[in-house]
Amino acid sequence: MYSLSTLLTIEQLGSDEVHAIVIVGLAFACAGLYNGVIFGAMGIIAKKTGERLILLAGIIFLILGPISLYPYGSELAPFECPRKNETALNKTLLFGN
Give the pLDDT of residue 43.
87
CA–CA dist 38, 84 (Å, integer): 45
Of residues 32 and 84, more confidence is placed in 32
Write down the pLDDT at residue 12.
78
Q: Is the pLDDT of residue 82 over 80?
A: no
Averaged pLDDT for residues 48-73: 85
Quote the pLDDT of residue 97: 47
Longest CA–CA separation in the chain, Å = 60
Q: How far apart are CA 25 and CA 31, in angstroms?
A: 10
6, 20 Cβ separation under 8 angstroms: yes
Nearest-10 Cα torsion for 56, 58, 59, 63 = 140
Three-state SS at 6: helix
Q: Is residue 86 pLDDT above 60, yes or no?
A: no
